[in-house]
Copies of this chain bind each other. A is one copy, B any other.
Amino acid sequence: VIGNETRCPPEFLALAHWLADASGAILRRYFRAGVEVMEKPDASPVTVADREAEAAIRAAILSAYPGHGIVGEEHGTERADAEFVWVIDPIDGTKSFVTGRPLFGTLIALAQGGAPVLGVIDHPALDERWVGAVGWPTLMNGRETRVRACAGVGGAALLASSPHMFEPDATAQFERLRRRARITLYGSDCYAYALVASGYADVVAEAHMAVYDYLAAVPVIEGAGGVITDWRGRRLSLDSGDRVLAAGDAGVHAEALRLLAGYKRSR
């Protein structure tokens, strides 16, 4: 996948760890420290912590690989046509960050030719880090971690950031999945994908996602034995749409796809 290799080169993994360390140090300094919450044009919250952490990550990438591209939530895109493009979200779950909830995370992904080859989901306030990469097993704090089997959506724990993320176009589809699931839980942000990768939960379904919201989850979920696609079953890439479905069990993923696709207006 990477040139003639079948594994993501260790030097990229090392850099990804370094980026998460650098970002985490900044976020821990600002977490619960009363930072001002500003509003972006789309009304989503942002803080100086988001911006400072992303700047630190970008500087380190540029220093190590000046030719690589970067897509970031706060500071935009550069060299998007490079073979290797890093895709970063310094704080996924800014609402959690600004309300003192430790579930927010830093997302770092590397795409080669548009396809994700490395992903980090790092939770600095919890000291928990998931790392997935092509050809490597997914690690949680350095230890191999795996999805769990699940007999069907009827026995599954379903996670999503918020029911309001589906409004208005995807609500009916998500509701069909939610009403079948055994348990539904909101408010996990990127932690949801990590929980599925480690076999604590079974399904994540989300909509209106940007590339920096989902790309890092792909190697993490796949390296743990799970399945992650858009809502039509297509692989996720740098250019994917905005809907994501991840499951630990391939059968549950297939059933969830059918539930999402099979919605018919009934009232």
Contacts and interface: CB of A to CB of B under 8 A. Distances in A.
Contacts of A162: 184-186
Given A32-B200, A163-B163, A200-B32, A101 B186 contact: no
Contacts of A164: 184
Contact of A103 (B103, B183, B198, B201): B103
Interface residues of A, number: 27
When all copies of this chain in the complex are counted, the total is 2
Interface in A160-189: 162-164, 183-188
B183 A95 contact: yes
Nearest to A102: B126
Interface string A185-216: 11110010001001011000000000000000
9 contacts: A32-B198, A32-B200, A95-B185, A98-B183, A99-B185, A100-B201, A101-B103, A101-B188, A102-B126
Interface of A: 32, 45, 95-96, 98-103, 126, 157, 159, 162-164, 183-188, 191, 195, 198, 200-201
